[in-house]
Amino acid sequence: MVPTALADELYEKLVAYYAHDPNVTVIVDRRQGERRARAARGAGEDRRLRDRRQRPLADRRPRLDGV
């Protein structure tokens, strides 16, 4: 991914360099600003975070002794 500021200078050079490799596609990053900041603002007050360390449900079942 080529930053927009360097696209004029590097894009053609990188395309020529990787022309023989079908697994490489050179792209120009045209994003403006940080996406995470917008997502965090739009989350609102109702967002709930769950504890990822919580044990699986099977481990939390009560033991039934004598069954």
All structural domains of the chain with their residue ranges: 1-33
Q: Taking the model in full, what pTM does it have?
A: 0.48
Distance CA 43, CA 40 (A): 5
What's the pLDDT tens digit per position in 8-64?
Answer: 999 999 999 999 999 999 999 888 777 666 555 555 556 666 666 766 666 666 777
- Residue environment code for 43-63, b if the CB has 16+ CB neighbours within 10 A, otherwise e: eeeeeeeeeeeeeeeeeeeee
Place of tokens 């004598």: 66
